[in-house]
Each structure stands twice: as structure tokens, then as C-alpha cells.
Structure 1
Amino acid sequence: TTRKVTVSSDGGNVWTEMHVKSPLEVGDRVIVASMNNGQAYVVLDRAITL
């Protein structure tokens, strides 16, 4: 799947395309880290139960 994303840096925002090999699906569980006092979140990985 190819998705358009915005990449932010000190020089401003840039639109680019990113190829995602295995996108998340509805119902997937993920591992998340919060940043900026809970104002932003980063998905670190998909959580798998064995």
C-alpha cells in the first residue's frame, strides 16, 4: 500500500509518498509511546499475542 504522508522538519512540511508493506488493520493492537505531554503519539509496533 502506498500512502501520502507529511514529514515535518525545521525547514517546514514536505509531502511525500511512503510504501507500507503491512498496514495496520481495524482491531490490531499496537504499542504506543506518548510525546509532548500526551499531545502526540507514535505507534512503535503491532502487538502480537502468542
Structure 2
Amino acid sequence: MMDLLVQVVVAAAILVMVVLAVIAQDRRTSVRERNLPGASHHHWWNRTRNGH
């Protein structure tokens, strides 16, 4: 019975670590994209409207 409890706790801890790693990775990429110089302003609709 104790072994099953340990396995469940270990599995839950691994799952939490994986979820946190995925969230951290996702946040890192969005921050990197947000920090690109003017990347968010170079969409095709902005370009056509501004005549560039």
C-alpha cells in the first residue's frame, strides 16, 4: 500500500514539473517574440494601411 502511495506521489511530482517546464518554455518564447524590435507592428494589414 505504501509503495502505491509513493508511486502516485512521484508521478504527480513529475507531472507538475513537466507542466511547469512547458509553461516556462511557452512564456519564454512569447517574451522573446514580444521583445523583437517592432515585430508586432509589421503585420500585412499595418503595412498596407501605412503604405509601406
TM-score clears 0.5: no
* Higher RCO (Cα < 8 Å, 6 or more apart): 1
Higher helix share: 2
CA radius of gyration, larger in: 2
TM-score by length of 1: 0.19
